[in-house]
């Protein structure tokens, strides 16, 4: 089925460990982004990409790295996990910036990765 | 300070009843506002989008309204069903930088 695929669904890390959250989409979307969702707060943008080879920081980028070598894939790397990074992470994609004036489709979100750092 | 505030934080309604969720925002100038539905353990799915020139938009039993003058939006669910149990998120886009601002969501529980 077309959409955004995130792996893994669940992960437990020890403080200081590193890992990569995978995100792949098969809709040929140019725009991809990573959000984290914490209780009582709105989704917060970590990093985003407007196309292959182009990435930029969002609202809360510290402790995370991204790369975009292909249109389909947009992995998120945690460099040295900290308990403050315990969260649910969502990858999302769209044809163009979902905040732009002409995009009526909005984001397609993945199902999320629930990460716990102990 | 969050630029999008939603109320109530949660509500419980009986199946078949109606309910209304509120979204107040301070984003200015404003471009568009979306409502998303997020089922437990899933990513959000878009329900409606309204630009600043629109004041109502329907999607089945979901009707969103927008008052750009008072910076308020509401999402009305008619004849609720058990499948409406979810979190509903209001997302506002600014017109200058097109940054998205997310509300914290309203959790709706529909009981039989």
Which residues of chain A have a Cβ shorter than 8 Å from any chain B Cβ? 4, 40-45, 90, 92, 97-101, 104-107, 109-112
Q: Which of B102, B101, B71, B78 is nearest to B88 (CA)?
A: B102
Task: Please tell me the predicted confidence (pLDDT) of residue B29.
Answer: 81
Kindly give the parts of chain A with pLDDT less than 70: 1, 97-105
Type and span of the H or E element at A65: strand A64-66
**B21-76 per-position pLDDT tens digit:** 999 999 888 788 999 999 999 999 999 989 888 899 999 999 999 998 999 999 99
Nearest to B103 among A42, A97, A105 (CB): A42
Task: Please tell me the predicted confidence (pLDDT) of residue B1.
Answer: 59
Residues of chain A found within 8 Å of residue B100, distances taken between Cβ atoms: 45, 98-99
Q: Count of A–B CB contacts within 8 Å?
A: 55
Task: Please tell me the predicted confidence (pLDDT) of residue B52.
Answer: 80
Task: Please tell me the predicted confidence (pLDDT) of residue A101.
Answer: 52
Compare B11 and B68 and report the one with higher pLDDT: B11
**Minimal CA separation from B82 to chain A, in Å:** 21
CB B108 within 8 A of CB B11: yes
Q: Is the peptide bond before B8 cis (omega within 30 degrees of 0)?
A: yes
Give me the mean pLDDT over the B76-105 stretch: 90
What distances in angstroms separate CA A56 from CA A49, A50, B24, B77, one per listed residue?
Answer: 6, 8, 29, 37
Q: Return all residues near B72 (Cβ < 8 A) that are at least 6 apart.
A: B22, B23, B24, B25, B66
């Amino acid at each position: 089925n077309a959409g955004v695929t995130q792996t893994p669904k669940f992960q437990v890390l020890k403080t200081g460990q590193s890992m990569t959250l995978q995100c792949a989409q098969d809709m040929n979307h140019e725009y991809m982004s990573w959000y984290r969702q914490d209780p009582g707060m709105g989704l917060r943008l970590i990093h985003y990409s407007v196309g292959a080879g182009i990435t930029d920081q969002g609202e809360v980028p510290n402790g995370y790295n991204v790369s975009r070598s292909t249109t389909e894939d947009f992995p998120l790397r945690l460099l040295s996990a900290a308990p403050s990074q315990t969260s649910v992470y969502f990858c999302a994609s769209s044809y163009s910036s979902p905040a732009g004036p002409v995009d009526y489709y909005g984001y397609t979100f993945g199902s999320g990765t629930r990460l716990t750092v102990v | 300070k969050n630029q999008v505030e939603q109320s109530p934080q949660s509500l419980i309604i009986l199946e078949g009843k109606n309910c209304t969720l509120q979204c107040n925002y301070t984003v200015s100038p404003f471009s568009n506002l979306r409502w998303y539905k997020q089922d437990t353990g899933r990513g959000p799915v878009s329900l409606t989008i309204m630009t600043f020139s629109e004041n109502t938009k329907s999607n089945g039993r979901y009707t969103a309204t927008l008052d750009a003058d008072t910076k308020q939006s509401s999402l009305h669910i008619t004849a609720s069903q058990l499948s409406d149990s979810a979190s509903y998120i209001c997302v506002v886009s600014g017109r200058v930088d097109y940054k998205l601002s997310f509300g914290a969501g309203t959790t709706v529980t529909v009981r039989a």
